[in-house]
Amino acid sequence: MDDVDMQRAVAASLSDAPGASEDDELFQALAASVQSGDGVSEELINTLRECERTPGAPVALVAPMTIYQVATHAIQALLAAGPFQKALQSAAKDQRVLPENYWSGEQPEALTDTSAAASTSLIQRLQTLAAYTAQTNHAAVITGDLAAAIPRDILLLASQGDAYGLLESLIDAIAALYADDTQMSLTQDPAFAEARDHLFRSYAAPAVAGAPVPSLEDSLLTNSITLRHTQSSTNVSSCLWSKLAGSGDSDSILITTPAQVLALPVVHATNTPRFQIDEVIYLDPFLWEKRNGERIDIDDRWRQIDIYDETCAELCRQREKLVSPSGRAIEPLIKTVQEHLTSASERVEKNSELNQWLTKTTQLLSSRVKDIDRSLDETRKAAAECKAKLLAEAAERDANPEFQTVPYSLCAALFASDDQLWAYVRSEQKWWLVEDGAVTLSSWETLANDDRGSAASEGVYMLCYEQGKSI
């Protein structure tokens, strides 16, 4: 069975799925359009074909090849956001293509082999995918045709293992298309066109106390905000605080116009405490309007905590050099040598000075290790006390009702561990786990406590929030 026959077979099976009307030409066109078996085993296709969708569950997106996995994962998260779904449903269809041909993937001849064709194709495939997943009774869909529409420069990042660059570039591509594409704006009313501009785009500017909110022209735009998980920044709010805060003469940045959907890649530093995922976050502390332009500054105590952490790391390195200078524990080796030196009377007398020196060395080593351990305990205690005070103050600030008027609710969280990817997606007010093409009912508690992935490059790597508190 060649690729074309395989695609037709999958499409036919989908159009015959329970609950799908055989007379629904649109649905059949969608099924044929979104499915492609390239790079996917027939066994997996047969398995996916047999899985029915649980009522209320999202549809799992299955990448046809490994190189498409992160991009497909990101699209899974973005499709969970209500504003993005609405944008896909509301966007005008390209008037240069007949409606029935649009859903089957046909491109306008004038756009063949151009960058405009690539952009139009990507959004066309996303619209088709969204329309299909809204109607199908199948639990999963192989995103072959959509994957093929992803721009090559984005796939190059995937081939280089740059997951964060890929996420940012893909979101940039989608956001730019929705905001700037003239053809897709022709039949849209101005209000929708303006709202579309803020789908993923947030605007920000350097803080100036008491100044009016800067215009969009005077603001910087971003389509995604990468969070840096460190020892002191362990949740979304603290990461945003440290990202936007000023230091000394450097500017503090405030958000002038927030996006409807916040795409937040998460980068983890090494040896960090667990990253806390919040089901609802509030942007009030970071908004120009709420702060009246007053800058955000990093508390000097956070810098002191960083110094404590650096001190602890250096003490640990010193301790390791003393205890295991060559990668093996030195005390047992010295003990073995001493036992050999004292195992016979003739050796005791002959090696008495050496044995005394080894004993003194062991005592000095033990004393130095105890001093380091004492310093480590004191430094860690000071850091913990300082951090506890700062977190308590931050919690008190975040609990202020005046700073809880612009909520964003989590709609998807993407995780990675070794070569495994999985996602939690909110659909119809329930949490679902999407993994290996299967969708199972989950819970917020399971998501919040998912500790798979222990390396710095593992764990949660993207969060997607939508404006409004819809928990």
What is the rounded distance in angstroms from the CA atom of residue 281 to the CA atom of residue 465? 8
Domain residue ranges in the chain: 3-195, 203-297+400-408, 301-397
Sign of CA dihedral 317, 319, 320, 322: positive
Among candidate residues 409, 441, 423, the one with its CA nearest the CA of residue 71 = 423
What is the rounded distance in angstroms from the CA atom of residue 453 to the CA atom of residue 448? 14
Among candidate residues 263, 268, 231, the one with its CA nearest the CA of residue 457 = 268
Q: Quote the pTM value.
A: 0.76
The tens digit of pLDDT for each residue in 58-110 reads 999 988 888 888 888 889 999 999 988 887 776 555 555 555 554 444 444 44
What is the rounded distance in angstroms from the CA atom of residue 118 to the CA atom of residue 111? 8
Beta strands, E only, 245-371: 253-257, 261-268, 280-282
Residue with tokens 């977190």: 391
Pull the structure tokens for residue 391.
């977190």
pLDDT tens digits in sequence order for the chain, 471 residues long: 333 343 343 344 334 434 444 334 544 554 554 554 454 555 555 566 667 888 999 999 988 888 888 888 889 999 999 988 887 776 555 555 555 554 444 444 444 444 444 555 677 778 888 888 888 888 888 887 676 677 777 777 766 667 777 777 777 777 776 565 544 444 455 555 566 678 888 999 999 999 999 998 899 888 888 999 988 888 999 899 888 988 767 889 999 999 999 999 999 988 788 899 999 999 999 999 999 999 888 788 888 888 998 899 999 999 888 888 777 777 777 777 777 766 666 666 666 777 778 888 888 888 899 999 999 999 999 999 998 898 888 888 878 888 889 999 999 999 998 778 999 999 999 999 999 889 999 999 999 999 886 665 679 999 999 998 654
Cβ burial 259-285 (10 Å sphere, 16+ → b, else e): bbbbbbbbebeeebeebebbeebbbbb
Q: How many helices (H) and strands (E) does the chain have?
A: 18, 13
